[in-house]
Structure 1
Amino acid sequence: MPELPPLTNATLWAILHDELDDSTVNQLVWQALGYCYDETCHQWGHAAVPQDWGSAYPEPPDFIASRPATVKLTRSIPSENKQLLKEELGFPGYQVNELVPRKTRRATIVNWLLSYRRQRASSAHF
């Protein structure tokens, strides 16, 4: 598995602008959720994934193709982090003619990754 890019604002903008391929985008979320790639058997394991995710998705889902997985991702963002796209990145949103599932799912992924990054930074202070 290739090395994943860091969760920088540049990476997040690349996701929003569809400059990162779907596989890399999914792998960023999978890794953040706790899925681990086993080089030996070339599979993703879910031993470290929260139970609600692991039971619903023993195989990591394709968040860009799967509406139910993206809905679950959206619901897992704490309410205080729902606006991080605007607050941290200044993302203005998409124009009405741009509202297609692929773009909105990528925006959801970026908002979730922003929330993950914020939560991880908060827990690092303890």
Structure 2
Amino acid sequence: MPQTMPDLPPLTEATFWDILEERLPDAALNALLWQCLGYRQDASGAWDNSGVEPSWRNDYPEPPDFIDSRPATVKLTRSIPAADKQLLKEQLGFGGYQVSELNPRRTRRATAVNWLLSHLRRGRRESTR
């Protein structure tokens, strides 16, 4: 069962590095993704997915745990436009993890940051139209 959304940090370079370096808790990372995807939670804890894109809403009526769910992270990866696939490197200068540091959790966090960077970029593009 998803957790209640905590107070969320702003989507800044510092926050992205906190995610990549595992200083931001999983619950906060999930909540950032849920918020950007359009999931909302009312005071009773019930989820409102009416603002969520239909493909996400159909697959995940309640927000998924992106750290524990490989399928949800794969869907997140596939939703990043090809032009935005290198934003971790281009915007943050992130060269990836060393082989000895790799594990699914860290890979999913890097995917989440790349998706958030793409989300911000798309938002700026849409607001300038």
The TM-score bracket by the shorter chain reads over 0.9
CA offsets, 1:27-79, max 9 Å, x none?
0000000001111x212221110000000000100000000000000000000
Gaps of at least 5 residues in structure 2 are none
Q: Percent identity?
A: 60
Q: Alpha-carbon deviation of 1:3?
A: 2.3
CA distance in 1, matches of 2:58, 2:114: 23
Is this contact kept in 1: 2:6–2:31, CA < 8 A?
A: no
Is this contact kept in 1: 2:18–2:24, CA < 8 A?
A: yes
CA distance in 2, matches of 1:78, 1:108: 13
Q: 2:34 matched to 1:8? A: no
SS at match of 2:111: helix
Match of 1:88 in 2: 91
Q: 2:73 matched to 1:70? A: yes
Gaps of at least 5 residues in structure 1 are none
Match of 1:99 in 2: 102
Match of 1:52 in 2: 55
CA distance in 2, matches of 1:31, 1:101: 23
User: Number of paired residues?
Assistant: 125
SS at match of 1:94: coil
Correspondence 1:25-40 to 2 at 5 A = 25-39=29-43
CA distance in 2, matches of 1:66, 1:43: 21
Match of 1:21 in 2: 25
CA distance in 2, matches of 1:13, 1:36: 25
The match for 1:115 among 112, 115, 118 is 118
Is this contact kept in 1: 2:6–2:27, CA < 8 A?
A: no
